[in-house]
Chains A and B, each alone.
Chain A
Amino acid sequence: MTCPVTIRIQEDDFDIAREISVLTSSRTDIGAVVTFSGICRADEDSATVAALTLEHYPGMAEEEIRRHADEAVSRWPLNGITVIHRVGRLMPGQNIVLVVTASQHRQAAFQAAEFLMDYLKTSAPFWKKEESATGTGWVEAHARDDEAAARWTKS
């Protein structure tokens, strides 16, 4: 089974419909596509966010996402993975991240998308800086994200 993996880090926005079509066109073995998009919210811990600036570690960010995409391919019967993460300054309502997983059946696509997002939040080297009326500051990591990623650890 072939599973093309596409990973992109870019300032530009992405087109979800186009990314689905890239994975599904010219093949007929895919029965399920799951997409997750993360969007810049206007409120974070009750403060009003004016903008987010995303910083990343070029090179390592792509490699870290690829390591987890490869692990997803080894754990679930997948027919395609696309992960796009935006960097730079983003306003509330704008897209931040896209994960697309394709499989014959929905369970694998759902689980792989969740797995990829959980690891993207805790181990891909990206950092958010928040601008609000009270100034700018770096977003703090949440313990709940570590807990979400830990449930995928094989015991």
Chain B
Amino acid sequence: MKVKYFAWVRERVGKAEETIEPPASVRTVEELIAWLSGQSEAYAYAFEKPKVIRAAIDRAHVKQDAAIAGAREIAFFPPMTGG
């Protein structure tokens, strides 16, 4: 699946997007955040306060208990500050 990062999450991870293949045991957004956090210090820093992070699956907002099965694109970003 493709993963995109925005704003300070993007800066901390150090890339705007990538393709990842998490193990089958990673079933929800929350579990994906935990799995990514274990990949490197950069991810651990980006997701150090996991509850703050917002997520979207295929361009629609989701809660962190949402299942990631079948997702083509998952995005992680801070609370929005547009307008």
Give the interface of A toward B (CB within 8 A).
38, 54-57, 59-61, 63-64, 85, 96-97, 117, 120-129, 138-141, 145
Contacts and interface: CB of A to CB of B under 8 A. Distances in A.
Contacts of A127: 6-7, 77-78, 80-82
Given A59-B59, A60-B56, A138-B7, A125 B77 contact: yes
Instruction: Please report whether the interface of chain A is mostly helix, strand, loop or mixed according to DSSP.
Output: mixed
Contacts of A140: 79, 81
16 contacts: A57-B75, A60-B56, A63-B60, A64-B61, A96-B83, A121-B81, A124-B80, A124-B82, A124-B83, A125-B75, A125-B82, A126-B80, A127-B77, A128-B81, A129-B7, A140-B79
Interface of B: 4, 6-8, 56, 59-61, 75, 77-83
A38 B7 CA distance: 21
**8 cross-chain pairs, A with B, having the tightest CB-CB distances, nearest first:** A126-B82, A141-B79, A127-B7, A121-B83, A60-B59, A120-B83, A139-B81, A128-B81
